[in-house]
Amino acid sequence: MTVISGLTEQIYSDRDIMALFSGTGIIRRMLEVEAALARAEGHCGVIPASAALCIHDVCHVGDVDGMLDLAAIADASIAAGNIAIPFVKQLTAAVHRVDPEAARYVHWGATSQDILDTALVLQIRQVASQLDQDLLAATEACARLTAVHRDTIMVGRTWLQHALPTTFGAKTAGWLQALERSRLRLRQDGIQVAQLQFGGAAGTLASLGTSAPAVSQALAAELGLALPAMPWHSHRDRLADIAATLGVLTGTLGKIARDISLMAQTEVRELAEPGGPGRGGSSTMPHKRNPVGCAAILAAATRVPPLVSTILSAMIQEHERALGGWQAEWDVLPQIASLTGGALRHLVGILDGLDVHPLRMKENLDATKGLILAEAYALALGSHIGRLQAHELVEQATKEAIRNDCSLPVSIRAALSVDPLMRDLFSDEEIEQLGKPENYVGAASSICDTVLAHWKQSVGT
């Protein structure tokens, strides 16, 4: 029984998270919940202490696959409607083999959804912890790039066209800020989702009578989870929140991967993914160095949004227990988590060894022969003749520069020289200075400083 499988899935998904949501991984968490339930009920005097100890011991047998038949659980779940029912049956049998009397108290007072949801919460808590560490690694890599390339000037692009000069550090600072926002959201949602699910058949815990509050509190403490004011069987907003947060994070990873892959194009050559044996090659073209990490991230970023949509659609659940909506979550949440984790790990690997080519960035700045500084000329000229007239003059000068295959400074001089009133507005030196990209990066460098200071404060360094 495996939630996520397939030869290609390992390209996109995180192996540790895949293992967490494997058949064995799921059953281990369910056993953890059942053991904690028995201990809590034994502590509260609901079941005999000897029974609680026996159930605990059986649930903590190291060889899960040797104790339970996972294939049989999967087969039986088709008729049962979920894996908890055949799981509890097999667990009861396993306890019975050790102590028939203790077997009477397995799963006492709980319902299937209590076990499945609480096991899921434990898994999500582990996912959130791993992603937090990977996000820290990604932000650290972005911070290093931002510090090193604070003043590395490059083309800023809008609508995929040359716009104005910026710095590579300013670009990586944007990546850093977006990743840090996702890290904060993930931490908040991770805390919010770490809530015990324990309500019995209809959310009232009638099966435990007056012992219900004490058992609930003890069970939450055993598992290190918060105790909500009431069970949340058909209220899935906390899970939807973290699914949406993972969706946003994967979108951010996709944006960064898109930036890197565009800058790695042969015609641009400003960046390249880390190389290595077997990485990014072609089966037919020996010269290729494909951005395979970016491809995996972008594939994940394409797949995750529809999965998040499924979780949002599944929120519309009936009365106290759902018919279909809850069941729709089972495979989808693990896929979202695994794809997000895989994309994040790919990004960390890319950022840690990213090849940055400042000389090529400078060459690309010069590719339009100064056209990228048209705004600088228009603003300087506008202070003398007005913004609109200056814009029209510089726009015409850019067209002449393109037509005559000359630089914009040359075309600007020619445009000014034909009007005696403007001929002496700027010296040749002033025109030359206006055409230097390093003089028109605005607040790019100070933005890097501000972002780095904010990040250092957030991580406590």
Q: What's the pLDDT tens digit per position in 256-309?
A: 999 999 999 999 999 999 987 656 555 555 566 788 999 999 999 999 999 999
Residues with pLDDT less than 70, the chain: 1-5, 277-288, 461
Q: Which residues of 312-423 form beta strands (DSSP E)? A: 355-356
CA–CA dist 231, 248 (Å, integer): 28
Q: Is the dihedral of CA 375, 380, 386, 390 positive or negative?
A: negative
In 314-386, alpha helices (H) = 325-352, 358-365, 374-385
Per-residue model confidence (pLDDT) at position 428: 87
Side chain identity at 369, as an amino acid letter?
K
CB-hemisphere CA count at 13 Å for 139?
26
Q: What is the pLDDT of residue 141?
A: 98
Active-site residue, selected from the candidate residues 125, 238, 321, 360: 321
pTM to 2 decimals? 0.92
Distance (Å, rounded) from C-alpha 453 to C-alpha 461? 9
Report the pLDDT value the prediction gives residue 287, as an integer from 0 to 100. 65
Residues 209 and 197: their CA atoms lie apart, in Å, by 17
pLDDT for the residue 286 = 58
The reply to whether 282 belongs to the active site is yes
Q: Which residue, chain included where needed, has tokens 């990004």?
A: 347
Closest to 293 (Cα-Cα) out of 349, 377, 370: 349
pLDDT at 223 (0 to 100): 98
- What is each CA distance from 278 to 260, 290, 308, in whole angstroms? 20, 11, 33
> Catalytic residue at 39?
no
Helix (H, G, I), strand (E, B) or coil at 163: strand
Position 102 scores a pLDDT of 97
How far is residue 415's CA from residue 393's CA, in Å, rounded to a whole number?
A: 7
> Catalytic: which of 282, 383, 446, 458?
282
Task: Read off φ and ψ for residue 281, nearest 5 degrees.
Answer: -80, 175
Instruction: Output DSSP code: residue 106.
Output: T
Q: What is the reported pLDDT for 357?
A: 98
Distant-in-sequence, close-in-space partners of 265: CB < 8 Å, separation ≥ 6 = none
